[in-house]
Every structure is written in C-alpha cells, then in structure tokens.
C-alpha cells in the first residue's frame, strides 16, 4: 500500500495534515461549536415535506442559480441586500474556497491573524495561495493600527478576518475592518460564522458593504440555525463578486435537496433562532463559572469559551473524554475551548471539571 510520500503531491501540500477535529461518539460533544439544540419538531416536519417535494424532480439538475434560496437569504440578512448580493455553497468553507479560487492562487497571498479559524490556512494551501500569519495583541484582539501595519508590511492579495474570532471568541470592531479595506487594493473577507451569538445591537460588517466592492461577508447556517449537517454557507458581497465566484464554481454545486432544506429552514427563521438566547445564556454561564473553578476566560461573543490556566491541557482533555465529554484541545498553551451546550450539558461539564479538581488538575 502506498503512502503520501510515494505520490507526486504538490510541493506546498507535502507535510500537511487534513482538518482533524476528533470525531468521537460521546454523551456530551462540546468540541466543534455545533448548536447542540435539535431543530424544533414542527420545523423538521416541514423540512422533510420540502425534501419529499424536491425528490419528485431529483432526476433533473437543480436550479444552478438557486434563485429562491438567494432571495430567502437576502430577506434574512436585510440591510437592503438583494438576491444579486448573495451566494451560497456547501458550508461556508466552500464559500471561502471559491473566494480563494477566484482571487487567490499561485503567486498570490492571503493574510490571517492566528489564532484563528484553522480552515483559513488549510483552504489557502488547497488553492495554492500563500498564507501569511499576522499577529494579534496580547488580548487576542485586532486594532485598526495593528491590521494596517500588517497589511502595509506584507501587501497581501486577500485579508481574512473573523468577527467574532474563532477560537478565542473575541469581537472585531468595524473600525478594524474599514482600516483593513482602506489599506489594501485586495479583497477583505470577514468571516461572521458566529454573528448571531453577539449581543443584541452589535453591528455587523454587512453595514459596511455599500460602496465597498472588495468586501465580502461570509456566514453559515450551521451554528445559529442548528443546520451543521445540512452544509449550507453563504456570502454577501457586491454583485460583481458573485459573478467572479460563478467563474470557479462547479456546475450545479448546490443540490436540489440542500436548497429545499435551507429554504424550509429559512421559512421558520424565528423558530430556528429561538434557541440562540439560551445558548448565549449557557456561554455567559461558562464565562461566570469557569473562573470559580480557578480558570481564566477570554471574553466571548460566540457560542463557545476559550479558557486558560490549564496546567496540562491534553491530560484534562483525555480525563473529560474518559467521562464521555469531549471539548477541544487546539494546541494553544495552557488553554482549552468548550462549546456552550444545553443547560444539562453545560451543568455536566462544569460538575465534571469540579470533580476533577478544576484548575488544580494536573498541577505538579
């Protein structure tokens, strides 16, 4: 049997490893920032009905332009956006990949700011776009001056920003986004996968789109809509950007079943988002309770919490796993990340941490 070393792999892919969040069958899964609340039963029935109707025409290719879905997404995001401003794909990862296929590639660079979403650099490698790792300030935040400094120093073709950031949960001020846009002639991509979990009234990068044809806002239905298994992501941008993506998309890339499921879910937006307040509450509970166990926490506007003061992160990860709870070891020294689950899941996680000795676990 051959190994990767035996194959004529592209040079820039040699030595890399694929995205590798552990997949374990456990009672409490709090490791990949899923919405742990199931979708309401009534919504599920309507999704099934929509899928059944789509199946009757499954012998035909789907609407290549997924017009109805783009119209529903435009209605959802608001800000006077139309279907022409919307693009969707199989998860926001595919959206980001298409962006790099259109605007990145060999000889081009993309600037990101680790620690950040790990797929940004992986997708860059997959499209042969050179990844430039910028730096954050000690609080994991990005100021306009820091963003501008890195852009002026590296002259990237694209800039990836997370609002709020993953895996730290820290917010991103609009001033930093406008500073990035003004400092470059390239594309600025704001990944807003967790935007719905921010405090009410938090301004979105969507408010900056008018007059900025090189700005893209990427979003997903995986998190707030509890639709991770359906794989639906989308972007909002100037219509010309959507035209650019059409040059690289595969034909009929969004299946009729995916379109039908997403449209049905968007028809129940209020019900689907009703769980967001509960998730925010469990996140805030983690922010309040983890320090009582001796850990430090970073402010979060997402559906997860990054906590520090962990003497042996991997050992604590394994100890929790032995008790049927999985969280995320990201390789950040003395830190782990936990998703805000249901009230029951959060309680079990906190009680188990306390039983293990809290921040004293692993102390030598």
Structural contact between residues 120 and 164, judged by C-beta atoms closer than 8 angstroms: no
Structural contact between residues 293 and 359, judged by C-beta atoms closer than 8 angstroms: yes
pLDDT of residue 257: 98
Per-residue pLDDT tens over the stretch 274-301: 899 999 999 999 999 999 999 999 999 9
Residues of the chain under the 70 pLDDT cut: 364
Kindly report each contact of residues 120-123 with a partner whose C-beta sits within 8 Å and lies 24 or more positions away, as own/partner. 120/96, 120/160, 120/191, 122/16, 122/18, 122/19, 123/93, 123/96, 123/97
pLDDT of residue 25: 81
pLDDT of residue 207: 98
- Mean pLDDT, all residues of the chain: 95
Task: Tell me how far apart the alpha carbons of residues 114 and 270 are, in angstroms, rounded to a whole number.
Answer: 34
Which residues make up the CATH 3.90.1150.10 domain(s) of the chain?
19-37+275-360
Residue with tokens 């309770």: 289
- Bridge-based pairing of strands 158-162 and 187-191 is parallel
pLDDT of residue 364: 59
183 token code pair: 């400092």
Which residues are CB-neighbours of 140 under 8 A, at least 6 positions away? 115, 165, 168, 170, 298
Indicate the CATH number of 41-268 among 1.10.3260.10, 3.90.1300.10, 3.20.20.60, 3.40.640.10.
3.40.640.10
Per-residue pLDDT tens over the stretch 220-264: 999 999 999 999 999 999 999 999 999 999 999 999 999 999 999
Question: What angle (nearest 5°) sits at the alpha carbon of residue 146, between those of residues 189 and 100?
Answer: 20
pLDDT of residue 221: 97
Tally of CB atoms within 10 A around 118:
16
Which residues make up the CATH 3.40.640.10 domain(s) of the chain?
41-268
Indicate the CATH number of 19-37+275-360 among 3.90.1150.10, 1.20.120.450, 2.40.240.10, 3.90.550.10.
3.90.1150.10
Task: Tell me how far apart the alpha carbons of residues 128 and 11 are, in angstroms, rounded to a whole number.
Answer: 10
Question: What angle (nearest 5°) sits at the alpha carbon of residue 144, between those of residues 197 and 102?
Answer: 75
Residue among 198, 215, 138 nearest 163 (CA): 198
pLDDT of residue 5: 85
């Amino acid at each position: 049997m051959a190994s990767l070393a035996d194959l004529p792999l592209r040079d820039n892919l040699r030595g890399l490893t694929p995205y590798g969040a552990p997949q374990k069958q456990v009672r409490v899964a709090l490791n990949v920032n899923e919405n742990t609340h199931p979708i309401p039963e009534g919504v599920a029935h309507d999704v099934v009905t929509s899928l059944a109707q789509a199946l009757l025409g499954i012998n035909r290719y789907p609407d290549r332009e997924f017009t109805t879905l783009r119209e529903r997404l435009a209605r959802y995001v608001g800000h006077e956006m139309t279907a022409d401003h919307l693009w969707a794909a199989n998860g926001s990862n595919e959206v980001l990949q298409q962006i790099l296929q259109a605007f990145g590639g060999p000889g081009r660079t993309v600037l990101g700011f680790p620690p950040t979403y790990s797929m940004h650099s992986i997708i860059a490698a997959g499209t042969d776009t050179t990844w430039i790792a910028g730096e954050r300030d000690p609080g994991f935040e990005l100021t306009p001056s820091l963003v501008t400094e890195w852009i002026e120093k590296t002259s990237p073709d694209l800039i990836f920003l997370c609002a709020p950031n993953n895996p730290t949960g820290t917010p991103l001020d609009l001033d930093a986004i406008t500073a990035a846009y003004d400092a470059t002639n390239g594309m600025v991509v704001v990944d807003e996968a967790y935007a719905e979990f921010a405090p009410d009234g938090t301004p979105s990068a969507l408010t900056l789109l008018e007059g900025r044809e090189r700005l893209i806002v990427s979003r997903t239905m995986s998190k707030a809509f509890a639709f991770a298994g359906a794989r639906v992501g989308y972007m909002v941008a100037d219509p010309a950007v959507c035209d650019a993506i059409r040059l690289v998309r595969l034909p009929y890339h969004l299946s009729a079943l995916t379109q039908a499921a997403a449209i049905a879910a968007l028809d129940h937006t209020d019900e689907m988002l009703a769980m967001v307040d509960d998730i925010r509450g469990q996140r805030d509970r983690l922010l309040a309770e983890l320090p009582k166990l001796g850990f430090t926490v970073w402010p979060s506007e997402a559906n997860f919490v990054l906590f520090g003061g962990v003497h042996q992160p991997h050992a604590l990860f394994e100890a929790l796993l032995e008790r049927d709870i999985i969280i995320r070891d990201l390789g950040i020294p003395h830190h782990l990340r936990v998703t805000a689950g249901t009230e029951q899941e959060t309680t079990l996680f906190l009680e188990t941490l306390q039983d293990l000795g809290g921040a004293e676990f692993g102390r030598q």
